[in-house]
Chains A and B, each alone.
Chain A
Amino acid sequence: MLTELSLNILDVANNSIRAGANLIVIQVSIHTREDILTIKIIDNGHGMTKEQLSQVEDPFFTTRTTRDVGLGIPFLKQAALITGGTFSIKSKPNVETLVYASFGLSHIDRMPLGDINSTIYTLVLANQEIDFLYVFQCDDKEFQLDTRSLKDILGDISFDTPEVAEFIRDYLNDNYNETAGGCNF
């Protein structure tokens, strides 16, 4: 069981990585007036055929050869639906695959977002060959982290150089606090 939405995001993003994506967009939006939280994960990996798409929400379907069950997508779908939310996956093979989930923000069964900054940090640091665009929105405020801009500045300096890693951690934490501050969820 994944107990935070941010762990579900990490899990779904790992499907994108396994699909050979080189750009993964992760968007988390909170709209307090509409009482909704949405998660979008878009990648340019190899995607899924119609047949795979029709099976992917079934826990007993997986493309993996190392085991027989695939719980990631069913977990996220269930987490969304029990809050009165929606869930969808769309895929154009090799072009774009979109996973979308919406949640009733104030619903008692909505999982906490959890440590989203650690999810993004982990993805960015452990997969430096892949680009990530992360967007976090809360009502009228938003911030983003685009690893392509980081690489433009850094050239061939690695993200796991201590000074750079610390910057990425602080950038995520400070901007999250500022964006989420005053936005009650």
Chain B
Amino acid sequence: MKSLEELKAIRESMQAQMGLRNEDTNQTRIVVGMATCGIASGARPVLMELSKIVQEKGLSKVMVTQTGCIGLCQYEPIVEVIEPGKEKVTYIKMTPEKAKEIVDQHIIRGQIVSKYTISEDIG
């Protein structure tokens, strides 16, 4: 069995590093809808992928989190990107592959992926 002793070692090795849990006002939030509608349409793998890429790319100012039903169940899985000082962008019908594109294009390069946004879909 894996024990928490290993975590203590990890903790010690990163003693000097950052990654604090405090909510930074400069933080970008990526929010995944996780009510029954979202879960049934595949929100869990989307959140798993987002969390994985954000860690892999070392995006320490980005937080992946979740919310309940956004009220647009037919467009789930929904991902909202909330950047400080900018208007919220809502992406719909997400898959792990599309989510990866959003991290690469929108989060890292600052280019909104219009083809997946809700405004593109319903005008």
Interface size on A, residues (CB 8 A): 47
Within 8 A of B (CB), among A112-132: 115, 118-119, 121-122, 125-128
Q: Which residues of A contact B17 (CB under 8 A)?
A: 157, 161
A170 CA / B66 CA spacing, docked (Å): 22
State which of B34, B40, B63 has its C-beta within 8 Å of the C-beta of A160.
B63
Within 8 A of A (CB), among B8-57: 8, 10-11, 13-14, 17, 19-22, 32, 34-37, 39-40, 44-45, 47-48, 51, 54-56
Per-residue CB proximity of A140-167 to B under 8 Å, as 1/0? Answer: 0001000001100111111111111111
State which of B1, B13, B37 has its C-beta within 8 Å of the C-beta of A178.
B1
A72 CA / B36 CA spacing, docked (Å): 6
B64 within 8 A of A: yes
A67 within 8 A of B: yes
* A14-B35, A160-B64, A164-B7 known; A121+B1 contact, CB < 8 A: no
B71 within 8 A of A: yes
B2 within 8 A of A: yes
Residues of chain B having any CB pair with chain A under 8 Å = 1-2, 4, 6-8, 10-11, 13-14, 17, 19-22, 32, 34-37, 39-40, 44-45, 47-48, 51, 54-56, 58, 63-66, 68-71, 73
Residues of chain A having any CB pair with chain B under 8 Å = 1-2, 7, 10-11, 14, 17-18, 64, 66-67, 70-72, 75, 115, 118-119, 121-122, 125-128, 143, 149-150, 153-167, 170-171, 174-175, 178
Given contacts A160-B51, A175-B2, 12 further A-B contacts (CB under 8 A): A1-B40, A10-B39, A11-B36, A11-B39, A14-B34, A14-B39, A122-B44, A122-B66, A143-B1, A154-B11, A163-B10, A163-B14
